[in-house]
Structure 1
Amino acid sequence: MSINENKMLNKKRILQCILEHAPISRAEIAGKMKISKPTVSLLVDELIQEKWVFEKGIGDSTSQGGRRPIHLYFNEKAAYIIGTDIGGTKVKMVISDLNGNIVASSSFQTEHYLNTGLLKKMAKEIGVMIQKNGIDQQMILGMGVGVPGVTETTGIVVEAPSLNWIRYPFIKEAERYLSFPIYMDNDVNVAALGEQWLGNAKHKENVLFIAIGTGIGSGIIIHNQLYRGSSNAAGEMGYMVTDKNDMKNEFKPIFHRYGYLESVAGGKAIGDKLTKLVIQNPDHPLNEQAKLEELTGEMAFTLAKKGDEIALKVVDEAIEHIAYGIINAASLLNPEVIILGGGVLKSSEFILPKLREIVDHYLPSSVELNISQLEEDAGVLGAVSLFIREHDSIINFS
């Protein structure tokens, strides 16, 4: 390692130490990191000059009554990162500081701009957010993006069915409108990073994040690294089979190319099943409505909570399938924590106890099972985290 590389590595480590242990003095850093005091002082001075760190206040005097040390703090406002979560329905964008505090946010309907220029609209929204909040454009480090589909690290979206993208050169197209570095990954992978950075998977190195909405997908972090698989398609939990008899009876997916688990336990599948059973039951209060329109998964949970027998049957069956999927995945991956997110988990107080009961009963080793702490912001803050992890800068500690 060259002298310059060694210096940069020490500088990064000192910055990480300040971020994790602030308020902290130069002497304490030297003691923790086993680096000489003059070297620490020199590198801290550089970090202060570059505005990554600031000094504040006076610490406690030493027991010998010596000079009180000056404390150092990480400057979370030194730069800003844009986090974008592109969904089939909505595009959500935020500008965040380096600690994940959202300073500006914006969202718009995906379908309105899908054919007329999604990236052009994104660039326009970024410009508005920067201007409205008086942010210096030079302080924007770049952007992380979550996309609902299979992505390549080269910046190509292999396939995103809800956006009608096939081999779409996302980063190349984005660079036409935006002048800063951009990193992109699958939306569930990105949400997993968000939960690990700021949510219920903080300080955990082995994480399984499962998103249960219309479809079912998961993001896998092993030894602090995202596991993407040989063709970037790892974590497609929606394709798990949780009932072999169903497969023998000419199973048909709920949407073209959807998998078994999401076709029996996704939000759309729950609504479908409820609709069919309510139509077969003329005495049900929603019988007429079910004949006119499809009932939703949300309705199923609302009715189940009120004790509706048909809804309870539908919901309990879906929960069973999800539990079997969790057992299979956890047996294979042995994560420290499993985080559940997505639209279906809006009814988490109803779902979680039932899931835990089945999972704890069948799983050989216990696992922490939690819901997403970041909820709606898991995607955008995960995208910020993706940028910090992937972009080669002083704040990339991975």
Structure 2
Amino acid sequence: MTLNGTPAQMKSVNKKRVLQCIQENFPISRAEIAVKVGISKPTVSLLVDELLQEKWILEKGTGEASSQGGRRPIQLHFNERAAYIVGTDIGGTKVKTVICDLFGNIICTRSFKTSQYLQSGLLNQISKDIEYMIQKSNIDSQKILGMGAGVPGITEQTSGVVIEAPSLNWVRYPFIKEAKRIFPFQVYVDNDVNVAALGEQWLGNAKNKENVLFIAVGTGIGSGIIIHNQLYRGFSSAAGELGYMVTDKNDMKNAFQPIFHRYGYLESVAGGKAIGDRLTKLIQQQPKHPLYERANGEELPGEMAFALAREGDKTAIDVIEEAVEHLAYGIINAACLLNPEVIILGGGVLKSSELILPSLLEIVNQYLPSSVELKISQLQENAGVLGAVSLFLREHESIIKLR
């Protein structure tokens, strides 16, 4: 590897490389680092001494003696508690915030209902939650490097403006500008599903994959796209809006009405709200159904369809099968276009994955030109907050940086 630049720039680059080598390979000796990184042993020793002084790394125990005997090399370990990152997942229903170490271990967590503070200021309440967690966990506030945030809407990552987040009533909301006013550290923001995709790639079922499609199926349906290890956001930061995909042309010819204002077709036939809505309407046509009276008095939630299906209710099974078919067509179209290594499925609807995944796999595998792994989110409800931490580590220029 050839490095160009001033001696100070070269030292900075080499220091990052040494730290990354320790992070990925510890326990490791100075001599082993020199071989792996291709830097002279004296230079490695100087950089290691600086990293030890700055507490990015630790010396622990000793290594094995060589076959020739002699002093055992001192082993170096990455110090995951050298700094902390805040991750916050701002949803239409709940805001969840965590403080993590540099390995993504959650030290503490706190959440609140979005509706409670939507008018008075979500960011102010997040700040209060962070202060509470710092005190409760006895964390040195100076060790907080910064925060990543996921929001449920189209977000310009470079400007930090949330173009539109309907569930928060945000239109061109200057998220980063407001964050700078409230938080004493650097903050980065992106769409919540993009952020969840980063989380799964960092610590979940997409680990070590460079081409990933993360699909979140909840009230709405969205996706995060990672191509060659980089998030693909699209021309207007609206890439991945899978919920707008059309999977039945006949519906569109019949003056189709979305489930919510400005919602797309797929989420209006396969999202959680759509499943509950369809179940309610079908049961309203069956006076002998045990839930007939309830269905005429209120809309049944999507979760009810899965509960009934587990009991063998034919109406619920039909509703779920229809939703799964639409979702499968959307996945087929997206996979044919993107050719990902793995597709990760998350969101509230996938909590009932045992009723969804078998049928989904059967349909998807029939039509794809090449096979693809289809997995359920490993991080599940923590995908958003851990993805937000990952977003910060990827975007923030410091000695610690995810590739």
Band of TM-score, shorter chain? over 0.9
TM-score by length of 1: 0.99
What residue number does 1:218 align with?
223
How far the C-alpha of 1:66 sits from its partner, in A, is 2.6
What residue number does 1:23 align with?
27
The 2-side partners of 1:210 and 1:4 are apart by 43
- Structure 1 moving runs of 4+ over 2 Å: none
Q: Quick check: 2:150–2:195 contact (8 Å CA) kept in 1?
A: yes
For residues 210-289 of structure 1, the aligned pairs below 5 Å read: 210-289=215-294
CA deviations on 1:324-375 (whole Å, 9 max, x unpaired) are 1111111111111100000000101111111111111111111011011111
Secondary structure in structure 2 of the residue aligned to 1:282: coil
Q: From the superposition, tell whether residues 365 and 34 of structure 1 become closer, same or farther in structure 2 (CA, over 3 Å).
A: same
Secondary structure in structure 2 of the residue aligned to 1:9: helix
What percentage of residue pairs aligned between the two structures are identical?
74
The 2-side partners of 1:2 and 1:351 are apart by 57
CA deviations on 1:245-279 (whole Å, 9 max, x unpaired) are 11111111111111110000000000000000000
How far the C-alpha of 1:397 sits from its partner, in A, is 4.0
What residue number does 1:208 align with?
213
Amino acid aligned to 1:61? A
For residues 57-206 of structure 1, the aligned pairs below 5 Å read: 57-152=61-156, 153-206=158-211
CA deviations on 1:135-186 (whole Å, 9 max, x unpaired) are 1110000110000001112111110000000011111112222111000000
2:38 to 13, 34, 37: 34
Q: Which range moves more in the overlay, 384-393 or 243-252?
A: 243-252
What residue number does 2:59 align with?
55
Q: Which range moves more in the overlay, 4-13 or 81-90?
A: 4-13
Q: Return 5+ residue gaps in structure 1 as ranges.
A: none
What residue number does 1:390 align with?
395
Task: State whether structure 2 residue 344 is matched by structure 1 residue 370.
Answer: no
The 1-side partners of 2:318 and 2:10 are apart by 62
The 2-side partners of 1:33 and 1:142 are apart by 29
Secondary structure in structure 2 of the residue aligned to 1:195: helix
Secondary structure in structure 1 of the residue aligned to 2:51: helix
What residue number does 2:326 align with?
321
Q: Quick check: 1:16–1:397 contact (8 Å CA) kept in 2?
A: no
Q: Which range moves more in the overlay, 218-227 or 348-357?
A: 348-357
The 1-side partners of 2:402 and 2:137 are apart by 28
1:2 to 6, 9, 20: 6
Amino acid aligned to 1:219? G
What residue number does 2:365 align with?
360
Secondary structure in structure 2 of the residue aligned to 1:221: strand
Secondary structure in structure 1 of the residue aligned to 2:88: strand
Amino acid aligned to 1:75? N
TM-score by length of 2: 0.98
The 1-side partners of 2:43 and 2:226 are apart by 35
2:295 to 290, 295, 298: 290
The 1-side partners of 2:19 and 2:369 are apart by 41
Secondary structure in structure 2 of the residue aligned to 1:175: helix
How far the C-alpha of 1:6 sits from its partner, in A, is 1.6
The 2-side partners of 1:161 and 1:249 are apart by 26
Amino acid aligned to 1:276? K
The 1-side partners of 2:307 and 2:281 are apart by 17
What residue number does 1:299 align with?
304
The 2-side partners of 1:134 and 1:358 are apart by 51
Secondary structure in structure 1 of the residue aligned to 2:371: coil
The 2-side partners of 1:310 and 1:64 are apart by 75
